[in-house]
């Protein structure tokens, strides 16, 4: 019989994984709340989102330090090494996604007290739902170590990219019809960009999950193209 | 003169054709094909197939009893010294069968030197330790020529500056790390092609270990190095290729045999090994 070793190390790796999933859950839950505050012009909730981001930062820092601790004291190798390095990447991607919701909350304050026209609001709701879905799917892929789902996030993100173009067009059309001030139109266009970036972070998370699972680094494809063209790094 | 040495000098075996040219284009130093080593009926290693490349450090890692030392000793026919040992399969060195009857094992051990786990200097002076091999090989005269060889060997072993003023003092008065570097100097004084190292740092402190490791990376410019180590960080730090050996237990007879699980670039083995058994061993998950 083989004996299971390194129980402390296993617990530490589990703590890191749980922490990453907790961060992801916070972002996933903040997205619809932030969107609702935006559409309803609720400054109290917007302020709460900005303050709550500090909690995400604190969690992020403690997980980062936990990763350094494990790297230093446990000297992980192979799959363990990839899971710790991957967690560091995920940590930064998720933390940044949280910042983007913070940006949306700040934009909510700048838009106040103007109302967002229904046509734009409806599209922003869809963007919010897509961004939330991508973050949820990336967490699912991480939890299950599902490289297939992780890689598919890139394709799933196409919907959010399309919505971004559509929403920005709708914003400027509404502005042209003089139903939106330039100030609000610009803020809304930036908000579109923030949702769209959350989708991109989810795609990056997916790529790093693939690295955790099978060791494939995402930028290899680009580097291979460079070599194929005969250029140097 | 020792008759065995006379015999060695007159041997004109296949190895000679390959050695002195040190043909760098012949990249494969060793080709091991389906090698089995037995001690009486006990099969110590089974069906090992690996290539060892010139000017690389190849590390053998694996749990106790996995046959990595047996494998290392096969490369310079040290197992010949054990009467019950026999091998099947093929082990060629620079294209020539190392176990051919015409090959003289003493000549093999000159070309393929060895450094052991515990530093084992002779109870002689530092100078005489290094001069010993070339002297019995008879190809270096005494005097200035020998002085130069001793100096060069000690320099290559990164020991010269520490001992140049006390070459005539006993080697046994040196620290463990210095003794091990002296053993390396002694091994390279006979102008070998390959240096085998069997856990060379396991009796040394981290600083002495660091010096040996630094030395190894310098030595690989000139020599091909094979190292058995229990220290995986050491394998990761110094080697170009890592081979993971494991033990296979046959349940009925409870007999244990060493097998090669996987060999590959060291970085790959330690970041993304192919075989789950390698992963479990290097991540320390199963004992």
Tell me which residues of chain A, numbers 9 to 68, contact chain B at a CB-CB cutoff of 8 Å.
9
Radius of gyration of chain A (CA): 20
pLDDT one-digit tens code per residue, B162-180: 999 999 999 999 999 999 9
Q: Does B125 touch chain A (CB under 8 A)?
A: no
**Confidence grade of residue B25 (pLDDT, cut at 50, 70, 90):** very low
Q: Is the ipTM of this complex over 0.90?
A: no
How many beta-carbon contacts under 8 Å exist across A and B? 41
pLDDT one-digit tens code per residue, A152-207: 999 999 999 999 999 999 999 999 998 899 999 999 999 999 999 999 999 999 99
Give the pLDDT confidence score for residue A3 in this predicted structure: 60
Measured in whole angstroms, the distance separating CA B264 from the mean position of its chain's CA atoms is 19
Phi then psi for B248, rounded to 5 degrees?
Answer: -110, 125
Is the pLDDT at B20 greater than 70? The verdict is no
Q: How far is CA B99 from CA B13, B111, B247, B275, in A?
A: 11, 14, 25, 31
Give the pLDDT confidence score for residue B87 in this predicted structure: 93
Distance separating alpha carbons of residues B259 and B67, to the nearest angstrom = 7
Give the pLDDT confidence score for residue A76 in this predicted structure: 94
**Confidence grade of residue A95 (pLDDT, cut at 50, 70, 90):** very high
Q: How far is CA B88 from CA B37, B261, B277, in A?
A: 7, 19, 26
pLDDT one-digit tens code per residue, B232-278: 999 999 999 999 999 999 888 888 999 999 999 999 999 999 999 99
B285 and A4: CB-CB below 8 Å?
Answer: yes
Go through the domains of chain A in sequence order and give each one's CATH number.
2-221 (1.20.58.220)
The whole-angstrom distance between A145's CA and the closest CA on chain B is: 15
Tell me if residue B128 falls in helix, strand or coil.
helix
The whole-angstrom distance between B210's CA and the closest CA on chain A is: 18
A5 and B286: CB-CB below 8 Å?
Answer: yes
Distance separating alpha carbons of residues A173 and A163, to the nearest angstrom = 15
Phi then psi for B55, rounded to 5 degrees?
Answer: 55, 30
Element (H, E) at A4: none
Residue ranges in A75-181 assigned as alpha helix (H): 78-111, 118-144, 147-176
Which of A78, A212, A213 has the highest number of chain B CBs within 10 A, making it the mutation to test binding with B?
A: A78
Tell me if residue B207 falls in helix, strand or coil.
helix
Both structure tokens of B244: 């993971």
Q: Which 8-state DSSP code applies to residue A116? A: P
Q: Say which residues have a Cβ less than 8 Å from residue A183's Cβ, sequence separation at least 6.
A: A110
By CA distance, what is B233's nearest residue in A?
A75
Q: Are A5 and B285 in contact (CB under 8 A)?
A: yes
The whole-angstrom distance between A76's CA and the closest CA on chain B is: 7
C-alpha angle A47/A33/A63, rounded to 5°? 80
Q: Does B143 touch chain A (CB under 8 A)?
A: no
């Amino acid at each position: 019989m083989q004996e299971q070793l390194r129980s402390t190390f296993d617990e530490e790796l589990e703590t890191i994984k749980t922490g990453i999933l907790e961060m992801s859950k916070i972002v996933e839950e903040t997205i619809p709340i932030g969107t609702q505050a935006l559409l309803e012009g609720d400054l109290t909730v917007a302020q709460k989102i900005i303050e709550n981001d500090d909690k995400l930062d604190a969690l992020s820092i403690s997980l980062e330090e936990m990763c350094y601790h494990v790297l230093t004291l446990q000297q992980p190798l192979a799959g363990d090494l990839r899971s710790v390095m991957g967690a560091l990447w995920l940590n930064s991607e998720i933390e940044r996604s949280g910042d983007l919701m913070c940006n949306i909350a700040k934009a909510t304050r700048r838009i106040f007290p103007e109302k967002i026209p229904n046509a734009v609001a409806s599209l922003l709701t869809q963007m919010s739902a897509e961004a939330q879905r991508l973050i949820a799917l990336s967490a699912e892929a991480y939890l299950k170590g599902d490289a297939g789902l992780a890689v598919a996030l890139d394709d799933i993100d196409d919907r959010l990219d399309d919505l971004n173009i559509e929403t920005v067009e709708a914003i400027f059309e509404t502005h042209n019809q003089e139903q939106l001030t330039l100030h609000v139109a610009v803020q809304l266009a930036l908000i579109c960009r923030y949702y769209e970036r959350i989708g991109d972070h989810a795609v990056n998370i997916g790529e790093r999950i693939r690295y955790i699972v099978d060791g494939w680094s995402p930028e290899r494809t680009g580097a291979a193209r460079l070599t194929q063209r005969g250029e140097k790094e | 003169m020792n008759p065995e040495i006379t015999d060695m000098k007159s041997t004109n075996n296949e190895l000679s054709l390959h050695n002195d040219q040190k043909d760098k284009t012949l990249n494969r130093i060793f080709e091991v094909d389906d090698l089995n080593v037995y001690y009486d009926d006990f099969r110590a290693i089974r069906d090992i197939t690996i290539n060892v490349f010139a000017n690389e450090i190849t590390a053998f890692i694996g749990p106790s009893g996995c046959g990595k030392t047996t494998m290392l000793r096969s490369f310079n026919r040290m197992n010949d010294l054990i009467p019950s040992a026999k091998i099947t399969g093929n082990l060629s060195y620079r294209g020539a069968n190392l176990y051919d009857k015409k090959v003289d094992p003493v000549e093999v051990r000159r070309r393929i030197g060895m450094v052991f786990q515990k530093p084992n200097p002779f109870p002689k002076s530092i100078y005489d330790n290094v001069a010993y091999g070339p002297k019995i090989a008879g190809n270096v005269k005494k005097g200035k020529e020998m002085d130069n060889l001793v100096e060069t060997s000690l320099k290559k072993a990164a020991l010269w500056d520490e001992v140049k003023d006390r070459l005539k003092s006993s080697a046994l008065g040196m620290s463990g790390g210095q003794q091990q570097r002296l053993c390396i100097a002694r091994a390279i004084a006979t102008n070998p092609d390959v240096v085998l190292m069997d856990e060379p740092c396991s009796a040394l402190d981290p600083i002495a270990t660091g010096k040996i490791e630094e030395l190894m990376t310098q030595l690989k410019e000139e020599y091909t190095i094979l190292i058995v180590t229990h220290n995986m960080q050491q394998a990761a730090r110094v080697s170009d290729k890592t081979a993971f050996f494991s033990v296979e237990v046959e349940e009925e007879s409870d007999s244990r045999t060493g097998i090669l699980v996987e060999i590959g670039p060291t970085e790959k083995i330690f970041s993304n090994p192919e075989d789950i058994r390698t992963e479990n061993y290097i991540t320390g998950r199963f004992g």
